[in-house]
Chain A
Amino acid sequence: MTSPGLHRCLRHPWWALFFSLLLIALCSIGMGKLYFRGDYRIFFSPQNPQLLAFEQMQYDFNKSDNLLIAVVPQDGNVFTADTLTLLQQLTEAAWLTPYAIRVDSVTNYQHTEADNDDLLVADLLYDPASLTPDSIARIKQIALQEPALVNRLVSASGAVAAINITVQLPEKDQNKEVQDVWQYMRQQTDDFATRYPGVEFHLTGVIAMNHAFASEAENDAKNLVPLMLLGILVMLAWLLRSVTASFATLVIIIVSVTSALGLAGWAGIFLSTATINVPTILMTLAVADSVHIIASAQFALRRGDTKLNALHYSISRNLKPVLITSITTAIGFLTLNFSEVPILRDLGNMTAAGVMLACLYSLVLLPVLLLLLPLKAGKATADTHGAMDWLADTVIRYQRLLLPGLSIFILLCTALISLNKVNDEAIKYFAESTEFRQSNDFLEQNLSGFTLMDFSVNAGQSNAVNQPEFLAAVDDFSQWLLAQPEVTHVNTVTDVIKRLNKNMHGDNQAFYRLPDSSEQAAQFLLMYEMSLPFGLDLNNQLNIDKSATRISATLRNLGSKELTGLEARALQYMAEQYPHYKVTAASAALMFAHIGERNMASMLKTLPLALVLISLLLIFSLQSWRLGLLSMVPNIAPALVGFGLWGLISGEINLALSVVAGMSLGIIVDDTVHFLSKYQHARQEGRDAEAAVRYAFHSVGRALWITTLVLVAGFGVLMFSGFRLNSDMGMLTALIIFIALLIDFLLLPACLLRFDNPREKHHV
């Protein structure tokens, strides 16, 4: 395959340079339009059913985006004058949090009690200066008996208390809004920590999670990209042994990244926890093209060609494989478009575009740079070639052992795939070393989980929430929920109504039950609502026409299977017991629990499509059905082995891992293409399979070894991310790419010797 256009570039290098720079500039200007989003909604498309249910619930009731501050006194008792004072002051300060619409704590809990014909409604603790041992004892007794507080805002042991801030973000600049909330509360807790030494604060909740998403992405950008650049520089210097060649490659890598980011900016794509690593991935992928072109040119220089001729030779030799491998890699990344997760689609498209740009720059700009800069031939590394020849000999000698042995190994690993299960827990996306994860783990052990599941029970008619039969159903459901092992707390309006019924009957404990008539329930609520302060109303539990109520269950931190299981059980219970009420479940955790499964299902559907496309491309480029079909073995096997081994290593498949199969397919195909095209070249020159395998190892073995090393290192760098979606993806992709090389070196030649050997056929 030759292209007159590419060769003409070399004859007019300055023009080629000019137009390349123009293209790079035009693309890269778009980088100015890039912005960052760190909120959890970027994981969900606007049509996602769980997102729609969640948003509907937020329309019907108030928002539930929250920041929870756990307050942990050293002496293990929050019911002391000091800690109660702190809680009261921090609660007051919490009201000043940007976008706060509600603050709940032990101190501003609206305690109701009867005094003859008076209904007293007041903060449980209003004036800390007036605290006495008696009043502290009273507060403790009330707080630890109040179902709305225990296990939610105070631990049953009284060792940990919490303040929950509900925020209503305007959602104009989500990232900034989250930062504003976080920064304010961080400042406050830091101040309080100096004023009350010995008290610890932990921040968690949806805002903390959004903040963690953003800050982990920032850490990735700050730490991984420089690490990656450094790694590539070291490797290039070692591989190419030429400052110029390394410099030219570095230029290609950087302009590929800036162009891809710029195009994303023009396309209106934003940066996120997923796409923040596009530069790292792209750098890795772009290296291979340049290394192949430079290696060929250096080979020609060593045999005595002029620099111009060496570059012409290199372009002729590499045009086809570079183009084909770039296209297959792009196809692999484009399969991400079938993902349910918008930011993974962005990742796929940005990388695919970047890979094609890198291909273009490697073929046009790189030769021009090499022509204009001084280039040395570099030292030939005979040792690796020697190693490759030895490997060829070994594979040929043990072919009859390798083929069945590796086949059994692959089948075994395939069986291990069943050890994996889909699991998406937003909390577990964060490594145990991250602050967010530590706060959550602490809270789960000492107060309650961070996972919420909200249920809306809708009777379909106005003011139905006051009807005794409706309240009885809600109460029964709340009790059922509380009895589930996964549930630690249930916030339900029936607890409020029972308490009011008791208050209205002179605090007689016998009346701590649901009222007898809808009039009573309605009138008690009317009275209660009239006596509440700003922000502490019931609008977060009752919808506007009082046809529905929201019940919030706090859960232990569960895996996605357990979470969807609880959801299904709850909905089934209500459908059987109270079929006339419409019940829906929604929460951020539930959205993540479902997205993993949905994403996996859609990715599994697209995988065969990608495989067929890539195989057709190989059949077309090799112009051989037999080799094309044979190539499917080394293309499919690495993912099977990789996922099988993953079952042993971790066994958890999250969002990012479900796209690894498609993504890595496009990359590992490259090795096969290079190996097969060299093998085929030798065969066409009339050599037999054995000699062709030797030739393939000798001519391309070292390049494959090097590019694999670069790719494994590149994806390996992602393992240092504190964000498990990125680190797991990096680790598994690196693993699969490495396995692919082993299979290309061991199984593919064995297959070729067995199935592409006419002489052998005659014997059979």
Chain B
Amino acid sequence: MYKPLCRTTVLLCGLLLAAAAPADDVAKGLQIAQEQKARDTGWGDSESELIMVLRNAAGQQTERRMRTLAFEMPDDGDKALTIFDEPRDVRGSAFLTHSHPTAEDDQWLYLPSLRRTRRIATRNKSGPFMASEFAYEDMTSFELEKFAFRYLRDENCNDQLCFVLEQTPTDSFSGYSTTHVWLDQQHYRVQKVDYYDRKNSLLKTLTMHDYQQYLDKYWRPHKMTMHNHQTGKSTDLLLQSIRFGTGRTEADFDVNALERAR
């Protein structure tokens, strides 16, 4: 009895909101995004193993393997270190990013074949990550300052009631004109994202699957599927394992530590 009634109320509210002035939608959008960010704050650090499965339009596929160490920065963007394991010829390459809410992210790559670290000095972040359908900007840490938000509507997704938000990147170097994000209203988890390219055509859709909860609070999807509507290619990002509280410090995410990362 309680649930359907609640749902109806929310739906009604949603309808009312949709009819309200756009300024309210902007405020509500930001409010939802703030709640989303708040619910994913405080996880500290994590270490995960990932497999990327790339598929072309003909269905042929190939794999990439990597590990990612992540470190939460309370007043800045997160820091992340990705170590590549496969393919073999890039094994040991380590990609360090310090993301920033407003400034450009810092990126370094340690190349074992040169035994040297190179800084990638570019504002580009919309190209394919390891030739997959994910772009660097799809994977970097979620910062409120990177987008302008607008609440669009309520809608069911994956059998849950979701908010649909419009997120418009503030960076002119983004590859997208806008994105539409579906967040479930219970846990504020991203369920689906539609990416629109610069000419406002639907480019890609990201769907999240198999959410699991960690530390009784933080939800992580164990499968993310990015489908490119224009080329028919797709990529699965599979989370093999994830651990929190690994005891790493900020020093482990320093440029000078890159060469030690294995």
Contact = CB atoms under 8 A, between A and B. Distances in A.
A527 B57 contact: no
A97 interface: yes
A543 B197 CA distance: 23
Contact of A532 (B58, B93, B119, B127): B127
A547 to B, nearest CB: 9
A584 interface: no
A168 B127 contact: no
A463 to B, nearest CB: 5
A466 interface: yes
A545 B113 contact: no
Contacts of A519: 89-90, 112-113
Contacts of A537: 127-128, 131
Contacts of B114: 504, 520, 523
Interface stretch (A117-125, A267-275, A432-440): A117-125
Given A462-B62, A529-B131, A542-B131, A95 B118 contact: no
Nearest to B177: A96
Given A95-B199, A120-B122, A523-B90, A534 B129 contact: no
Contact of A527 (B88, B118, B126): B118
Nearest to B176: A534
A441 interface: no
A59 B87 contact: no
Residue with the greatest number of chain B CB neighbours at <10 A, chosen from A121, A534, A536: A534
A529 B130 CA distance: 7
| Residue with the highest number of chain B CB atoms closer than 10 Å, among A529, A532, A543, A544 | A544
A130 to B, nearest CB: 15
A186 B114 CA distance: 49
B121 interface: yes
A542 B90 CA distance: 16
Interface in A507-538: 515, 517-524, 526-527, 529-538
Interface residues of A, number: 51
A539 interface: yes
A206 B79 CA distance: 46
Given A62-B231, A115-B121, A117-B118, A544 B109 contact: no
B118 A118 contact: yes
A466 B89 contact: yes
Interface size class on chain B is 35 or more
A518 B87 CA distance: 11
A490 B158 CA distance: 49
B62 A522 contact: no
A118 B95 contact: no
A537 to B, nearest CB: 5
B212 interface: no
A59 B232 CA distance: 10
Contacts of A504: 111, 114, 118
Given A119-B118, A463-B89, A544-B60, A534 B113 contact: no
A122 B114 CA distance: 23
Contacts of B175: 533-535
Given A59-B57, A117-B116, A466-B89, A534 B122 contact: no
A309 to B, nearest CB: 71
A393 interface: no
Contacts of A526: 84, 90, 93, 109, 130
A128 interface: no
Contact of B107 (A117, A530, A544): A530
B231 to A, nearest CB: 6
B124 interface: yes
B121 A168 contact: no
Nearest to B133: A539
Contacts of A115: 121
Interface string B39-63: 0000000000000001111101110
B56 A60 contact: yes
4 pairs of A and B residues whose beta carbons are closest in the complex: A534-B175, A522-B89, A534-B126, A545-B62
Given A531-B107, A544-B54, 11 more contacts: A98-B199, A101-B231, A121-B122, A122-B123, A168-B230, A504-B118, A519-B90, A519-B113, A526-B84, A530-B95, A545-B54
